[in-house]
Amino acid sequence: MTAPLDGVVVADLSRVLAGPLAASMLADLGATVVKVERPGTGDDTRQWGPPWTETSSSYFECANRSKQSVELDLDDPDDRSLAVELTRRADVVIENYRSGALDRRDLGYEQVAARNPGVVYASISGFGSAGGRDLPGYDFLVQAVGGLMSVTGDPAEPTKVGVALVDVLTAKDATIGILAALREREASGRGQRVEVNLLSSLLGSLANQASGFLTTGRAPAAMANQHPSIAPYETLSAADGLVAVCCGNDGQFRRLAQVLELPRLADDPRFATNPARVEHRPALVAALEKQLGQGPVAAWVDQLQAAGVPAGAVGSVADAFALAERLGLRPTVDVGPDAPPQVRNPITLGRTPISRYAAPPRLGEHTNDVRRWLTEGEGS
């Protein structure tokens, strides 16, 4: 079965998470991805552990499956010439080097495009190619300066999200840009540069929080698990833990009140509409938690879900995988007998499903094959 990106060659010159993850998504979709790594050490994330796998770190492996690894020293003239040849043959180049670093090695966009006019050259940076071109960018730093920490967690202390979410969002933006440029190339025959940066991807992902600021001029603040515009849309205390309750409309709230045997709550002028509930949130929460405190989380969740009220227990990552399994979502895939399972690509394609998953490569595993391909002619 033909994969959507069969025949597309990707030169992955990126490191850490955003770039490698974008390249990994393209590999899932059928592209041939050649990952260029520093001899001896490879991608920084190979040393980011624990946890460790048999050949690397679990961090590295989450973003580098189904790739070929080649060790090339870009400061060595012979190795650099091979990297230049790789970018000449590639349909896509992905890089996240500091500004100017690849230009000095004859691998910058203008240089690559002169040799390969059809190339889609994706550059990923922390803060863009203008005033922030010389600033290093890491996910945690951008979460801090980009406002995400200010709206996350308890109001008393800005808190980072528990995963490198900005890197992940930027990877998805990069993938979308690359696919769009490949599609446009079919019409024009020309490649182009795709630029994404962590700060812009974060701002674009702040959604209602960003829109609220642009509307009012007031920066939003952290509200723990509460929503600034909807109530109840938060965690509420039951007898033995927390229930996540999401009432996105008045009908759902009315059903919530009925399950809790508080039908008058839905007719109370303080709670009859969402704006009123947001305004009187403390009184609303007190009334709801008084009733929820009389029963366990599991019982309330069963009743609420049966009534069509979006609700669930606050669970762990293990609970999340178990839930996905129960729902038939097939959340994991096997990538080889000696490698731990990985998260399945969340995209489902009806006619050309993603069907090829291979283990993340050992450092330099494909060096000889790639060198031979680059020096002996076309075809791999």
Q: Hey, which residues are catalytic here?
A: 167
In this structure, the strands spanning 242-246 and 233-237 are antiparallel
Crossing angle between the packed helical segments 18-28 and 165-188, to the nearest 10 degrees: 50
Distance from first CA to last CA of the chain, Å, rounded? Answer: 19
Residue 53, Cα to own-chain centre: how many angstroms? 22
What whole-number distance in Å separates Cα of residue 140 and Cα of residue 16? 13
Cβ neighbours for 117, distance < 8 A, ≥ 6 positions apart: 190, 191
User: In Å, how far are 47, 65, 67 from 54, measured between CA atoms?
Assistant: 13, 14, 17
Q: Collapsing DSSP states into helix, strand and coil, what is residue 254?
A: helix
User: In Å, how far are 4, 77, 159, 247, 274 from 220, measured between CA atoms?
Assistant: 41, 52, 14, 21, 19
DSSP class of residue 163 equals: S
Q: Buried b / exposed e across 206-226, counting CB within 10 Å, b at 16+?
A: beebbebeeeeeeebebeeeb
